[in-house]
Structure 1
Amino acid sequence: TFDFAGEAVGAMAAADLAVFVVDASSGLDHATVDLWRQAADRGLPRLVFVNKLDREHTNFEMVLGELQAAFGAGVAPLEIPIGVAEGFHGIADLLTDTAWIYDSGSAELGEIPEEMEEREHQIHDSLVENIVVADDALLERFLDGEVPSFEELEKVLGRGVAGGTVFPVVCGSATIPIAVDRLCNYIVEVGPAPSDRPPVPVTVGTATLDVAPDPSADALVHVFKTAVDPYLGHVSYFRVLAGTVQRDLHLSNGRTGDDERFRNVMSLQGGESVDVDSLPAGDIGAVAKLSDTRTGDTLSATGRAAAPAIGFPTPVLSVAVTARSRNDEDK
């Protein structure tokens, strides 16, 4: 059975931004609200993608209202859909006051439909006002009648996202696809970089140190997930908290004190893994066949470091799996 909650919590421990995908036909559910609370407790920036707008019985305005009622005034739409259900064919960009029309996954700049113009302009003006109040210099120029540029708005918006005060809402359909490319762009453009995030408090002996993602520091790795691959065997997924992880690097496990050798270092690209020579601080990767490393372990040069506990939910079902023979144990 796939442990969605456990997988999500583990991913939060390694992420710089949580993207919440909400079904436009069914709206906000309990699992999303619970995971949002956990992301908030971790101080993790959040973004919402309202999906499946090509389905019947969808209502973007209703879903947006549910999000704002549940998560507060920081929920800010950056897009609104053009068309409904099977007629959904594009989005209006509220930051730039433009429309993007999609055909077979490709987008072209188009006109905002006349029946949407008044509503779109209202939301655009409200969005701009809410963004500029976060920057005194930009607000002063805005009050003097100057129109902020897209780049200025995006920069201030990014600071709000990183600070956990603004939660952008974008929309589309992953299956057609519509606006998935824009979602990826927003993750890059307004999502925080590792250097924008607060240092990680790491316990070393009896002291607690704030660790920044410095690639020139000693290597420090936190394992947030463990899986068994039919070809690679035991695979540990990790985030590089500091330093640079290179192939054949030796680090010590803070739980066991044992030496672990990174025989290979893999970069994750969707469902694929690609061998790389090194991964710098802030990156996420995987390594196969560590001898005795578990989810939640911290590996460092000294072997005495411990990153904050991931805090997985309490299991409600326990299952034990035993290999038929010793030869099958790694599989």
Structure 2
Amino acid sequence: METYKYEKIRNVVLLGHGGSGKTTLVEAIAYTTGITNRQGKVEEGNTISDYDKEENKRLFSISTTVVPIIWEDTKINLLDTPGYFDFVGEVEEALLACDAAIIVVSAKSGVEIGTMKAWDYCEKYKLPRMFFVTDMDDDNASFRAVVERLDELYGKKIAPFHSPIRENEKFVGFVNVVKMAGRRFTKLSDYVDCEIPEYSMEYVNKYRESLLDAVAESSEELMEKYFEGEEFTPQEISTALRSSVIDCSIVPVLMGSGLYAQGTRMILEAIEKYFPSPNKGVLTGVNTKTDENFAADYDANKPMTAYVFKTIADPFIGKFSLIKICSGVLKSDSVIYNADKDTEEKLSRLYVLRGKEQIEVKELYAGDIGAIGKLSNTVTGDTLSTKATPIVYARPKLSVPYAYQRFRTKNKGDDDKVSQALQKLMEEDLTLRVVNDKENRQTLLYGIGEQQLDVVVSKMLQRYKVDIEIMKPRVPYRETIRKKVRVQGKYKKQSGGHGQYGDVHIEFEPSGDMDLPYVFEENVFGGVVPKNFFPAVEKGIAESVLKGPLAGYPVVGLKATLVDGSYHPVDSSEMAFKMATIQAFKQGIMEATPILLEPIVTLKVLVPDKFTGDIMGDLNRRRGRVLGMNPLHNGKQEIVADIPLSETFGYATDLRSMTGGIGEYSYEFARYEQAPSDVQQKVIEESEKYANSEEVG
């Protein structure tokens, strides 16, 4: 593949709702430009983008895939992203590497939640964007309905560049609203000029008028010309549209059919004509040697720097670090320095990936996207540079995972293999996390949603031949007491020679501080318990609070005061006093009205106004207490509630179901509170079953 400089590079991310046709559109573009000689289909599992076995099995994208396309003399790096919300981390990584976006909308499904989320991403990352309305070949397609909904949502920014031409209810061509010319498809995206049908003039004129309004607003000079009734020249329209698309004040709407590769030429032309080259972006890092800012700005004349935006760790195609060159030129024989890890490595090969195909290249210029194989110490978010000019760029802030499940290895001998496999999967997907919960003797797998965790289990088996099962996790409950008691614990054992003797009288009462397991004091007189045995008594308390007698959970908020006891000058020992204390603890806690405490989290839910009633009703069913609502600027509400942690399991799926996928949530631990009696009883019963199963296991 040839080397391209930034003026001739376009980095474009494809966004949209799951199933809207992004992968099919990429396949159509690849076929149109001659990369493939047969257009692949998602259903047949033979597309360039979806090459992973999990994607072929499930018939949707799971990972972001780079597909470079050469259109005339421009290199267009298309990044095909997943549409399903569980794989948002893949989308966020792609957004960091791109300079513009195409939001794909199905003409039969219309504007969906994923469409609106895609728009929000573009707003967040300030990306120029255009809509491509696909599935125009479908009998139920309605371009007009899509445009009207987009107008309703985003107002004057929406500028349809096309209007459909139909004959006998079939999609046969389109009107180019910018040039006011009819186009009839001949083969694929090829077309011949045709008359604009009379029936479509109403909407064509409407679209044309809004387009000219947008052009007029791009400069005072054009506004003046517009008011004076003068016609804009084609060059003025083209220049104004390009600058307006780049500054996000105009969002073009194009159309076609991914399935029949119609409209692909138009979208390639629009990408080349209206989208910015990488050097339009501003990018600043920090020189770790001088602590000065480094303005990379995709300038090929500056020292080489590159940002690792994604890692592929596939056992079949190997490990690749996907990079965007931020400045300078990266050559295949370079020595690169990772300032994040303070390591240096010599490159042997430099690649451009097209799906799973590896195309070797000699160099990549600033603004381009490529891949390096087998970098041992480099992970997603790292910066590569030269040791002479060590640069670090800000690390990505990806969505935080809140959904989690407990997992265990089915075959006990596979623990190491499971650990290594999970490590590789976490290199690929930064929204996965593994947490070892020693307190509850469980390992937790965190992700964005249950579908993502299901894919992880499947990948573990398919890729790495290790089997894990996921299940509902144990909640980290606590135990405490509600009243004051005094108990005696006596440990007496006689066995040839020295015996064992320890006798303690301890008062147990609530300490009032739930952050501390226990407070220990001694209040004995007359040496009934010698001072040298006090540490042994405290050790008995410290060991006992780790596992309470009610349900086996840690004890908190306990005050233990040693008030009396006795000893034997020969048989007493530290061990005897520790054992006496443990006996006193078991008896005392059960007499002091023990209760179970459950963890409470503060939950924040972000939803549009119309869903607030459903959300609050659901939170009440989950024993939540709504603390308040904060209206946000974009017609959304932030609902804040306290809710038991146990009631958050499955919330990602339920929230998605209630809001069609648009709701977002986060939570953080707040405190412990007494659990209701029915919850306590259920937890105690479950703990007994768990203890018995652990003993059997």
Shift of the 272–148 alpha-carbon distance from structure 1 to 2, 3 Å rule, reads farther
Tell me which residue corresponds to 1:257. Answer: 342
Q: Secondary structure at the match of 2:178?
A: coil
Partner of 1:116: 200
Alpha-carbon distance change, 84 to 26 in structure 1, aligned in 2, over 3 angstroms: farther
Q: Matches of 2:356 and 2:263 in 1, distance apart?
A: 21
Aligned 1:105-184 pairs, distance under 5 A: 105=188, 106-184=190-268
For residue 231 of structure 1, report the CA deviation from its aligned partner.
5.8
Q: TM-score, structure 1 length as denominator?
A: 0.89
In 2, the alpha carbon distance for the partners of 1:28 and 1:170 equals 14
Residue 128 (structure 2) pairs with residue 45 (structure 1): yes
Residue 318 of structure 2 is aligned to residue 239 of structure 1: no
Query: Which whole-Å CA distance do the structure 1 matches of 2:260 and 2:175 have between them?
Result: 17
For 1:310, which of 382, 393, 396 is the aligned residue? 396
Give the structure 1 partner of residue 114 of structure 2. Answer: 31
Q: One-letter code of the match for 1:123?
A: Y
Question: Against the structure 1 CA distance between its residues 83 and 308, is the aligned structure 2 distance closer, same or farther, given a 3 Å change threshold?
Answer: farther
Distance 1:278 1:224, change over 3 A: same
Question: Which residue of 94, 105, 119 corresponds with 1:22?
Answer: 105
Contact 1:53/1:84 (<8 A) preserved: no
Among 282, 285, 296, the alignment partner of 1:211 is 296
Match of 1:9 in 2: 92
Q: Does 1:283 align with 2:368?
A: yes
The DSSP-based 3-state class of the residue aligned with 2:156 is coil
The 3 A distance-change label for structure 1 pair 35 and 115 is closer
From 160, 180, 187, the equivalent of 1:97 is 180
Distance in 2, matches of 1:179 and 1:323, equals: 41
The CA RMSD over aligned residues, in Å, is: 2.4
For residues 97 and 127 of structure 2, the distance between their equivalents in structure 1, rounded to whole angstroms, comes to 10
Provide the rounded CA distance (Å) in 2 between the counterparts of 1:324 and 1:176. Answer: 39
CA distance in 2, matches of 1:19, 1:263: 35
Q: Write the distance in 2 (CA, Å) between the matches of 1:72 and 1:311.
A: 30
- Once the two structures are TM-superposed, the CA of residue 191 in structure 1 deviates from its matched residue by 0.7
| Contact 1:157–1:166 (CA under 8 A) maintained in structure 2 | yes
CA contact (8 A) 1:232 1:288 kept: no
> What is the CA distance between 1:57 and its match in structure 2?
1.6
In the aligned structure 1, how far is the partner of 2:393 from the partner of 2:167? 47
CA displacement, residues 76-108 of structure 1 (integer Å, 9 cap, x when unaligned): 111111128960111111100001111231211
Look up the equivalent residue of 1:96 and give its one-letter code: K
In structure 1, how many angstroms separate the alpha carbons of the residues matched to 2:464 and 2:154? 46
Q: Which runs of 5+ in 1 are unaligned?
A: 326-331
Of all paired residues, the percent bearing the same amino acid is: 27
Structure 2 counterpart of 1:174, one-letter code: G
Aligned mates of 2:335, 2:155 — CA distance in 1: 46
- Bigger shift: 93-102 or 1-10? 1-10
CA contact (8 A) 1:240 1:284 kept: yes
Query: Structure 2 unaligned runs (5+)?
Result: 1-53, 55-61, 64-81, 83-87, 401-446, 467-697
Once the two structures are overlaid, the 10-residue window that deviates more, 257-266 or 292-301, is: 257-266
Shift of 1:145: 3.8
Larger RCO: 1 or 2 (CA < 8 Å, sep 6+): 1
**Aligned-partner Cα distance in 2 for 1:201–1:274:** 30
Q: How many residues align?
A: 324
From 181, 187, 196, the equivalent of 2:271 is 187
Q: What's the TM-score once normalised by structure 2's chain length?
A: 0.44
Letter in 2 for 1:162: I
User: Hey, what does 1:329 align to over in structure 2?
Assistant: none
**Aligned 8 A contact 1:19 1:49 in 2:** yes
Which stretch has the larger CA shift, 103-112 or 206-215?
A: 206-215
* Selected match of 1:267 from 352, 366, 377: 352
Aligned-pair distance for 1:228? 3.4
- State the AA in 1 paired with 2:328: G
Offset, 1:30: 1.6
